[in-house]
Structure 1
Amino acid sequence: MEQQPNQPSPENIMKIGTGFWASKILLTAVSFKLFTRLAEKKTMKAKDVKDLLGLKCTDRNVYDFLDALTVFGFLKREGVWDTAIYSNTVDADTFLDTNKPSYIGGILEMMNNRLYTFWGNLGDGLLTGLPQNETKRSEDFFGLIYQDPEKLKEFTSAMSGIQMGNFMAFAQKFDFTKYKTLIDVGGSAGLLSIMVAKHNPHMHCTSFDLPPVEPIANATILQFGLSDSVKAASGDFFTMPIPNADIVVMGNILHDWDEGNKIALMQKAYDALPPGGAFVAIEGIIDDERKQNVFGMMMSLNMLIETGTGFDYTFADFNKWANIVGFKSTSIVPLAGPSSAAIAYK
C-alpha cells in the first residue's frame, strides 16, 4: 500500500538506528584494504576477493558485503552473483586507495581501531561529562598518542584524512595575494602547508607541531617535492608563543578545548600576526540556527568522547571570541562538505 503524505513512517528511525551497521561495513572494507587491492587489480570477482582477503565466511556473506558496498556507492558491479565483477567507484578509487596521496582513509582507520568502541559509551559521556577514551584508564590521551610511534602515525594519518578535502579547497578559495607567510599550528603531517604552497607558489609555509611529529611532516614535504617552500618546526603552542606569520591557521585544533582555552589560543594567534594578518580556523563550523550541519554536532560529541571539555561551535561563537581578542573583522568560507574556514582579520 502506498504511504499517504504526512503518515508516520519508521524509515528514518530504522535508517539512523542501524547506522552503525553501514559504518562498520565501510570501516571493515578500509581495514581490509579492499579499495587498495581493487585499485591494483582494476576488477575482481567475489571469489577472488574472498581468497585474497582470506575470508572464511560463506560465499553469500561475501556477496552481501560487496553488494552492500555497491549500494552505498563505494563499488561498481557488472553482473550478479557468480558473474559479478566489482571495481572501485571514482570516489573510492581517489580517496580510499592507500597508494594515492589523496587517501583520506586514515580517519576511518582510527574510527575503526579506536572511536568505534569509545562511541559505544556515549551515554556514559553524557551522564558524567567525562571523556570515554584512553583517559578512562587514567592515561593521558595526547601523551599516549605522541609517545607511541604507531598511535602517532595513525593519529596524524587520521587528521590528514579528515581535512585533506578542506585543505585543498582552502588553498584554492582563499585570496593569498596579500600574504607571503603562513604557519599551520598543530599542522600534523603538513598537508595544509603543502596544499597552500602547491597552489600558491609565492607562499612560504611552516607546519608547526610537537617534536615527535616533525619527522612525519618532513617526510610528507619531501614526498611532495616542496622543501623549498614548506618547512616543519617543533614547539608546544600552549607553552611558547606562536611564531610570527602573515596567516595563522588552526585545523581541528580549537574544538579540542574549552571556551577559555579557545580564546587563549586565538589570542596567541593574534599576537603572532601583523596588522592585516589573518587567523583561520578550519573545522566543522555549525550553522548558527543549528539545523543543518549535523556533522559538526556529531564532531562536537566526539570531542566529549575524546576530551570531555572540547566542543565544536557556530560562526556566532567564533565572532564573539574574535571580538574579545580584538580582531577587526571576520568572514567565513565554505570548504569541503560540512567544514568551513572561519577567518578573523587583525
Structure 2
Amino acid sequence: MTTQPPTPETIERLGAAVFRSFAMRAGMELDLFTPLTEGPMNVVELAQALNVGSTKLEPLLYSLVDAGLLTVEGERFSNTPESDHFLVRGKPTYMGERHHQFSHQWNATLKTSESIRPGAAQSKVDYHDRTPEQEESIYRGLHPGTIAAGRMLTTMYDFSAYRTLLDLGGGSGGLAIGVAEECPHLHATVGELPEVLAVTQRFIAEAETKDRTSIMAADALSGSINGSFDAVVMCNFIQVLSQDQARISLKNVIKAVEPGGDLYIVGRVLDDSHLSPTNALNANLFFLNVFDGGQAFTEHQHRDWLAEAGFGTIKRDILPDGRSVIAARKPS
C-alpha cells in the first residue's frame, strides 16, 4: 500500500487565518459599524456616510460578513448583535478604539524571530514616548473590558465583607469602577504610577461611582503602596514582569493586604503543561517581543511566589475568555 504524501493543509489554513482579523481591524478603524446602527445600508450609502469610495469598501464588507461581524440581505449590510453592542461609537460598551492595541500587538509579534535570535525584545514599549492623547485612546479601547472584569469578579467571589479595594496598576480604573458599581458598600482605589494618574482621573470623573472611587500613586516594585486594603486586584500585571520582579512585587503587595484579606491576580496564566489555554500561548508570542522578562507564567510558578510571599489558600479559576483568576488569602 502506497502512503499518500501529506498536504499543506495546516500551513494554508494558518496562512489564511489572519485576513478575518485584518478585516475587523479595518472596519474598526473606519468606524463603519457606527452608521449601520441606524439600519441596513447598501455599499454606496455606507460609503457616503464614511466619506470613502464604494469600490474599495465593498470587498471589506463581504469579508466582515464572512468574519461574523456583519450580515447581508440582498445588497444591504447590517451589524450583528455583537458588533452593534461593542463597535458602535458612543455606546458605553464601545471597544472600537482597540484597533490601536491590535495593531501594536500584531506589528510587535511579527518581530518574533528577530527577538529570539539575540534573546532580547525588539518591540519594547516606551510608555514615556506616548502623548497623553495616545495614552487615553488606548485606555478608551480597553476600558469597557476592564469594567466587565470588575463586575465579573463580584459574581465569582464574595465581596460582601470587603469595605476597601485596591486596583493596583489599574490604568483607566475600569476594574475598580466595575466593582464599585456592583458593591455600593465598598470604596475602591486605583493605584498607578504618577505619570498615568492624570488619565486615570479623567475616567474616574466620568463614572457614576466617582464618589466611591479614588486614585493614588503606587509602585509595587519599589514597595510604594500607601495604606492597607481588604482586597487587592492585580489585573494584567504579573505577566509584564520578570520572575524576580514578580517575586518582589508580591512580597510588597502582601503588606498592603489586611490580615484575612484577599489578593486576586487576573491575567494570562499557563497550565503547568505549557500547552494551554491557547490565548495564554498566543499572548506569550506578543510578550516575548515587548518585555525582556514578562510572559504568561505557569500556575505552579504563581503558587510558589504567592506562598513565598506569605499568602495561603491559593485557588485558580479559568474564565470563559481563557484568562485566569488566582485568588490568595493573607493569613489572619
Q: TM-score, normalised by structure 1?
A: 0.87
Higher mean alpha-carbon deviation, 249-258 vs 150-159, is at 150-159
- Could you say which residue in structure 2 is the equivalent of 1:75? 70
- Could you say what secondary structure the match of 1:76 adopts? strand
Alpha-carbon distance between aligned partners in 2 of 1:108 and 1:241, rounded to the nearest angstrom: 34
- Equivalent of 1:99, from 90, 95, 112? 90
Per the TM alignment, residue 103 of structure 1 is displaced from its structure 2 partner at its CA by 2.0
- Equivalent of 1:115, from 84, 105, 117? 105
- Could you say which residue in structure 2 is the equivalent of 1:144? 129
- Equivalent of 1:185, from 168, 175, 183? 168
Per the TM alignment, residue 295 of structure 1 is displaced from its structure 2 partner at its CA by 0.9
Alpha-carbon distance between aligned partners in 2 of 1:183 and 1:102, rounded to the nearest angstrom: 24
- Could you say what secondary structure the match of 1:329 adopts? strand
- Deviations 1:51-107 (Å, cap 9, x if unpaired)? 33333462xx4332111111211112222xxxx211211111122223122123333
**Residues 36, 11 of structure 1: CA spacing in aligned structure 2 closer, same or farther, 3 A cutoff?**
farther
2:157 is the counterpart of 1:132: no
- Deviations 1:309-341 (Å, cap 9, x if unpaired)? 111122222111111111112112333411121
- Could you say which residue in structure 1 is the equivalent of 2:40? 43
Alpha-carbon distance between aligned partners in 2 of 1:154 and 1:116, rounded to the nearest angstrom: 18
**Residues 158, 317 of structure 1: CA spacing in aligned structure 2 closer, same or farther, 3 A cutoff?**
farther
| 8 A Cα contact 1:107 1:162, kept in partner | no
Which letter maps to 2:65?
T
- Equivalent of 1:239, from 211, 222, 226? 222
| 8 A Cα contact 1:30 1:109, kept in partner | no
RMSD over equivalenced CA pairs, Å? 2.2
**Residues 304, 291 of structure 1: CA spacing in aligned structure 2 closer, same or farther, 3 A cutoff?**
closer
Higher mean alpha-carbon deviation, 158-167 vs 178-187, is at 158-167
**Residues 11, 57 of structure 1: CA spacing in aligned structure 2 closer, same or farther, 3 A cutoff?**
farther
Which letter maps to 1:270?
I
Alpha-carbon distance between aligned partners in 2 of 1:284 and 1:266, rounded to the nearest angstrom: 17
2:203 is the counterpart of 1:208: no
Which letter maps to 1:126?
I
| 8 A Cα contact 2:247 2:309, kept in partner | yes
Alpha-carbon distance between aligned partners in 2 of 1:103 and 1:333, rounded to the nearest angstrom: 27
User: How many equivalent residue pairs?
Assistant: 326
- Could you say what secondary structure the match of 1:212 adopts? coil
- Could you say which residue in structure 2 is the equivalent of 1:174? 157
- Could you say which residue in structure 2 is the equivalent of 1:3? none
Alpha-carbon distance between aligned partners in 1 of 2:298 and 2:168, rounded to the nearest angstrom: 21
- Deviations 1:258-277 (Å, cap 9, x if unpaired)? 10001111111111112111
- Could you say which residue in structure 1 is the equivalent of 2:234? 250
- Deviations 1:205-236 (Å, cap 9, x if unpaired)? 00111233323323322322112211122233
2:77 is the counterpart of 1:89: no
| 8 A Cα contact 1:106 1:161, kept in partner | no
2:275 is the counterpart of 1:277: no
- Could you say what secondary structure the match of 2:274 adopts? coil
- Could you say what secondary structure the match of 2:189 adopts? strand
- Equivalent of 2:24, from 23, 26, 31? 26
Runs (5+) with no aligned partner, structure 2: none
| 8 A Cα contact 2:176 2:213, kept in partner | yes
- Could you say which residue in structure 2 is the equivalent of 1:13? 11
- Could you say what secondary structure the match of 1:275 adopts? strand
Alpha-carbon distance between aligned partners in 2 of 1:166 and 1:325, rounded to the nearest angstrom: 25
Alpha-carbon distance between aligned partners in 2 of 1:12 and 1:90, rounded to the nearest angstrom: 31
- Equivalent of 2:244, from 254, 260, 272? 260
**Residues 94, 301 of structure 1: CA spacing in aligned structure 2 closer, same or farther, 3 A cutoff?**
same
| 8 A Cα contact 2:31 2:96, kept in partner | no
Per the TM alignment, residue 50 of structure 1 is displaced from its structure 2 partner at its CA by 2.1
Give identity over the alignment, percent. Answer: 24
**Residues 321, 242 of structure 1: CA spacing in aligned structure 2 closer, same or farther, 3 A cutoff?**
same
**Residues 164, 204 of structure 1: CA spacing in aligned structure 2 closer, same or farther, 3 A cutoff?**
closer
Runs (5+) with no aligned partner, structure 1: 1-5
- Could you say what secondary structure the match of 2:260 adopts? coil
2:287 is the counterpart of 1:287: no
2:287 is the counterpart of 1:297: no
Per the TM alignment, residue 201 of structure 1 is displaced from its structure 2 partner at its CA by 1.2
